[in-house]
A and B are shown apart, each in its own frame.
Chain A
Amino acid sequence: MSVDALPGRPGAPPPPSLLHARCAVCWVVLGIAVLVVASFASLDLQWSRFLSVDAMRRMGRFIAELLSPSVDPAFLKRLAVASAETLAMSALGTLLAVAAGLAIALPASRVYAGERALLRAPTRLLLNVLRSIPELAWAALLLIAAGLGPFAGTLALAFHTTGVLGRLFAEAIENAPPGPAVALRVQGVPEGRVFLYATLPAVLPQILSYSLYRWENNIRAAAVLGVVGAGGLGQMLAFHMGLFQMRETSSVLIAMIALVALVDLLSYVTRRVLAR
């Protein structure tokens, strides 16, 4: 930068006006500050209620109760069953979502430039809607059709994950290297076989890694889905907490944290192994 261009010198460009793009950051910061102040001002947070001595004492008693988990063998057995149920829900939900996601991703992707892909926009909208409704909301909705229990939870996971995976799969299919598919297509091979023998082998590693990643997320989600009555550890947690059985609640919480930690550890180890 030459000396003349420095601000404050004669001949220097005037400072940008407040609405100039260079001030975008200032506006963003101001906007965030307003949002934060408005949020704190509008919520009746009742600080006194949880900063008071009484609330602290209640919190302390609560934590003390949580530190003595129940180790009754019959209860632990039910806990193990619920953990297995959580794992099964997540695995089956993910599996259903992989199948459904792949089925929807096909019409949702434009496989070669100039393809009309009439279904692309509506199927993408469907995927976005499936994805925007969280698992827990799906579970609450599906309870009406599927009844209380793990089946509703499995379906809820499958619906939400279909939206997520379908979109990722469609992106993967559209971004696959076009060479092999073009080679088959110019030979007159029908579209279905082109997908099976050219596109699918190219995107399979991506599909697998996306699916495993979502499975990991779904185990975490399945653990809490039961809070609305959709089976697994969450249902036990809501049940025992509702009855104020703190020892049992504490065991369920420990099982939940252990499950999540185990999944984290496994995924960390897998990543390390795969990265090598």
Chain B
Amino acid sequence: MVEERRPQIEISGLSVHYGSRSALREISLDVHRNEILGVIGPAQSGKSTLLKVLNRTIDFVPGAEARGRVLIDGEDVLKTRDVCGLRRKIGMVAPLPVGLPLSIYDNVAFAPRMAGIRNRADLDEIVERCLKQAALWEEVKDRLETLGTRLSGGQQQRLTIARALSHQPTILCLDEFSIAIDPVTTMRIEDVLKELRSKMTIVLVTNLVQQARRLAERTAFFLSGELVEVDRTERIFKAPADPKTHQYVQGFFG
């Protein structure tokens, strides 16, 4: 019997709109500690918006307004003042791979440096650890001075994961991470996620329903800004409560 602990993320009544367009409507959702939550749904269903709210990068979207309550470890992120501190608690991987125009080393050392860590030995340790966790170390360990922008797409996405891990987040969010990379790298990253699940909570937004099936314990289905249902992954795929869920996972619309 799992001890009743407070969920790490508690969302209640979250609504987001961009100007006149509504992106999320009255979302209520919990994310448990150390689980992998899959988030599936067609385009424009609000999945990316959900992630942007979690780490408050929604602040950078002009005209965006968010209402409701989003608690992470008991603190309401919509009201938090130390936004940069919040973002360091959450690792974010965007759909398109990005290598900053710095050396690979500096890419991974970027966040620790911004947080104030200057000691070379400490940074060395962080860079090696994160690149190993992201399954990129073996490929780049002899050329850490290479510019991040010169890596391939798959390598840059793993570099992004290394960057995300460098500030020791307790939550890792991935937004359709495999959309622009090859299948081999996708598989390697999925292995990485399987290894990380014991150390952190993972919210995996994906347009590949099979990916959610492979990795997630629970899955949430979003449609047009509403949370249709959330349940154990098996239930969602074999016997969902809502017919729309059934139609989506069977591929009747995408």
A binds B: no
